[in-house]
Amino acid sequence: MLDPQARALLDLMIERGVPPTHTLEPAEARRLYRERRSFTQPPPLTMAEVRDLSAPGPAGPIGLRYYRPSTAPASSGALVYYHGGGWVIGDLDTHDVLCRELAHRSGCVVLAVDYRLGPEHPFPAAVDDCLTATRWVHAQAQSLGIDASRIALGGDSAGGNLATVTALGLRDGEGFKPRFQLLIYPGTDMRAIAPSHASNGQGYMLTADTIAYFRGKYIADEQKWSDWRASPLLHKDLSKLPPALVLTAGYDPLRDEGRQYADALSKAGVPTQYVCFERQIHGFITMGRVLEESNTAVALCALAVQRALGAG
């Protein structure tokens, strides 16, 4: 069954007439996403240091936000994090609370990437930004107070997609090899053909209509859907990638493609753990104020990062 707290949230959204994302222009969708976060997200945790940074990018500066918890050692491991939002909405502020929680619980630095969004900047702009920003973090490790040999990549939804693609890009480009991948209900197949797209396509917050909306704003050309930078599940070689934790939600249209990616990683010899929160909906990881299982999931993710980025 659907988690009762998730059911109550969905019912409340219907009662209050919250407009579906696919009915909004991108600027309005972004504004509402930012404004609504305070209702579902816990209060932000205090960090020893939070500051905004800028990395040179292919089309201008790329923003990042740096989080250092009080428990981080002088040369800490680091998680480079890419926010969700369908490559169209979301920013450093919408995922600020989650990044603070991951930093606090893992004892590691978190660096969030403010990549370019569609439709103003269509595919592969987000990919290019994430890859460039991640390489910059590695190059600047000493000045950032992090250990260049202990860097993980992570993200939720579209950000999970970008984390997988960045890991592949680093491997194929002979870049540094991250220590770990944290993939929270990642989008891995732009074709949206996995069975859960049909079974969970309506009624659970992220709908088939909204997925089509995001895809159309990010990568409208159907011929590009099979590009591995859009659909990492279709990459012909997933070997020699960092170990991964793939987390999905049972009532999420992306559930099956997340599981398929976890299976494909395992088949390719990549140490991979897979956990499905069977009673949850897409997006639940940021909703700890109203969904108790969100807090459990964040703790699990942070523990996985902590273990992967342990000293040495």
Each residue of 107-144: pLDDT tens digit? 999 999 999 999 999 999 999 999 999 999 999 999 99
What integer is the mean pLDDT of 55-64?
97
Phi, psi dihedral angles at 137 (to 5 degrees): -55, -45
Q: Taking the domains of the chain in order of start, what are their residue ranges? A: 4-308
Q: For 246-255, what is the mean pLDDT?
A: 98
Q: What is the architecture of the domain spanning 4-308?
A: 3-Layer(aba) Sandwich (3.40)
- pTM across the whole model: 0.98
- The model's confidence at residue 311, banded by pLDDT at 50, 70 and 90, is low
Note the pLDDT tens digit of each residue in 199-238: 999 999 999 999 999 999 999 999 999 999 999 999 999 9
Residue 113: φ, ψ to 5°: -105, 130
Residues belonging to the active site = 157, 252, 282
